[in-house]
Chain A
């Protein structure tokens, strides 16, 4: 599994498409149905899986483990969101914390982690590209 992270609009998807030769149809969204996620080559907005899980009272960490067991070769794209002021709304705080924990789980299991800043990739885990 390859994990691509970074803030919003830093060129994560563009990088994934050009580097790994993906086409639009092969890219699922984090909020898509389970069957679609399981068979996708790439899942972007993985944080949407976290927010969907929270809304359905499911554990996003368990779901992520289950998904990674089923799809070992997937490319996952996720936005980093935990670098702002702690939200006043409790549900937003929980979501923000779970995105961090899910990210740690993904990065721990990934063979490569690439971080995008202003469209520039840095490999922060694994061999360079």
Chain B
């Protein structure tokens, strides 16, 4: 099962993802992709750590090349967040096709998991024309999101904490 969760900033995406993954019984892995650059990143990382505390996650920090992570068969994975991972692949690793690469990496990992949840974000919604690099990033994340949604069994948009189903059926634990 592959689930994609999208939505705007501070709209409850992680809370929904954690609720789904914690309703299952398999071993839980959390793949964290945010690089701890600066105070705000630190605060965000700590906030997410607190949210996950006591939920039995094994945390793997991996900023690029997530396909290299060794996972046991039939585990559950929560991967956050595509916005960071895409930026890391583009700007830290200099990858020319981050969307294609990340989709291949996720496919490789999710082939062996019981449940794989990817959390992404929306960056194309403010209608502002940015400098070339930023536009390229927006395009890459848009392509990545579309590719992942295509692969996904379920796509959920978190809207102010409410799970809105865009594809498939709402998991029972969210009724």
Contacts and interface: CB of A to CB of B under 8 A. Distances in A.
Interface of A: 3, 5, 7, 80-86, 90, 93, 96-101, 103-104, 106-108, 113, 115, 124-125
A98 B159 CA distance: 14
Interface string B25-40: 0000000000000001
B10 interface: yes
Contacts of B9: 82-83, 86, 96-97, 100
Given A82-B8, A100-B9, A106 B126 contact: no
Interface residues of B, number: 21
Count chain A CB atoms within 10 A of each CB in B124, B126, B127 and give the residue with the most: B126
A1 to B, nearest CB: 13
B125 interface: yes
Contacts, number: 74
B159 A80 contact: yes
Given A84-B124, A85-B128, A101 B8 contact: no
B83 to A, nearest CB: 8
A83 B10 contact: no
B159 A100 contact: no
A74 to B, nearest CB: 16
Contacts of B127: 84
Nearest to A108: B161
Interface string B115-142: 0000000111111101000100010000
B162 interface: yes
A83 B8 contact: yes
Contacts of B91: none
